[in-house]
Structure 1
């Protein structure tokens, strides 16, 4: 049995260290404070009995649990990230505990009237009777992905302490800067040396994901002409009006707030405009590769049409691919998903195999030669004040890791 209080204490020790990453930084890790937890994790991995513990100049951590069987077993890995999102502050996290949750509103912060309510967050009702760890309403929690780290470290410690559980060689990897899209950028796949791995970075208990969005970013620049407004007739070109035409010409219902499941979208993330020049920033997402390419084509065609309409180049668009659907790399080795699915079933979890409406380090790692499906870590409402994680989900995720190790050794 996993030691419940030990797991809770470990999780709290992680989330109370501020590891927020910074997209404006050019260093790795992007913030110096990520080193605080990274160095502590490296020492902890040594303390629980793992071997070959290393932390490189970019704060990537790797370690080994040696095989305890004599027959050949594929080397597998488990990966999580220790940074937290810059979307909301991760400084001075004060976890709160809700024992035996009754299904009612949870007061996160009485003074500021911040309420975590099942009327809005219906998933809460899945966890009646369980212990929830929440924020105090003023920070995020950091379960994304310190729950994943907690589960991996706890599982490795459990396997060290229970040699009767047979397993092959297991590699552990912890990365910085996942939340700003760089978690896999400097990950040394060859050094890691696993045939496949799993990121412990999903949400609700039972989630198992091997599909994610194809992703691109687009910067649309609209050039206008500024003249004195009193003498502007026939001369002024207001770039903000043309930018509005561009925005309104894209499918209005193909945006994040109107889509779900496998539906893709265009998402306008930023506008910076004046009469003379306006810049629009978009992200483009779709699970289907052909639809993804069609979305990029649509933006280029719209740009060309507006330039034709105005008789000169008033709009330009720069589109850059960001990551791709890992399904293409995982499907040829579907047994790695089957093992995770069977592991869940054997410990009483109903697998929920679904596509990620986002990205994951696993996507980039899969294209770098390390097929890497994603498994639930248990948290909900990531990147904000309403984040929470059920303790029971973290325990189950830990058990899944141990069971995957056992099943791999039996293959």
Structure 2
């Protein structure tokens, strides 16, 4: 990267001018010249330096200093005049001049420690000094050329869908751990969209160890890209991973990935019959028994109980708060019992689910029995019986 100050060009000009004789020819404004602006790269990362070169060919040193003005602009802000930095901008820019070739000058502007807000244009403006009686009165622009640059930026979001017809999707706000999704056998079309990166990210979907084939859709207004895989058949009994992987080219640590763990189960239509008596708050125990049927080769290993829609699925066994049992009635029916060891108010508020093979669930809401009401009914009955007994006694007397 070029390191320089205004002293470089000043020293060059002074040394050159001190040896010039009076008969040196000075180019006129109509003299042919060439001007170009270039940069070695278009993209730069935050924290790096970026530079552009304004090259003038056809002018000698004396003419440039006495007759011309070469200014650098960063977007709409003037940064230099003949590589003299504006004082307030000296922390942000560096400028140097390469005059190693005869009548060929390169003015090099460096933007240091680039930020996202710096991206835009670096513009070199060449103007001719208009003088009256040897005094400069104004500048007349001869040529303006620019070069643009971008600062690489991370992906703002990712939307990974297992299939267009399923609501299930993963985003960057989702956990990076694989998300379990249970589906029936069939053909599906996974897609993955990444948004907001500079430049547009590269994106692919990998199934197991195989990169899927598909098509890319570019979205200019969202500065994003979507990869849509060709239709894939998922067979019953398979368990595989499906990952969306993306990266911003040239930007370190920009890799992003979200993964589905796809479990393909047979299409099932189990039926549920549950006995669900009312429970009493703070009672020690309460049981709910369900019969699950209408499934060939039904098995207790595929039965689970779940508290709340997103709660932990639990198979047969004894736990801290519940016990779960299951027994096989015949080849197409099983009976499972969930026993709450101590009833709390949450048991009436949060529903329970009995789940078969991860895919089919049956909701159970436990009704609450109010003890006080039962006691009142009992007391009223006792009062009526006592009253009847007294009345009968009086009549018999």
Structure 2 length-normalised TM: 0.23
Q: Which one has a larger percent strand, Structure 1 or Structure 2? A: 2
Q: Which has the larger radius of gyration?
A: 2
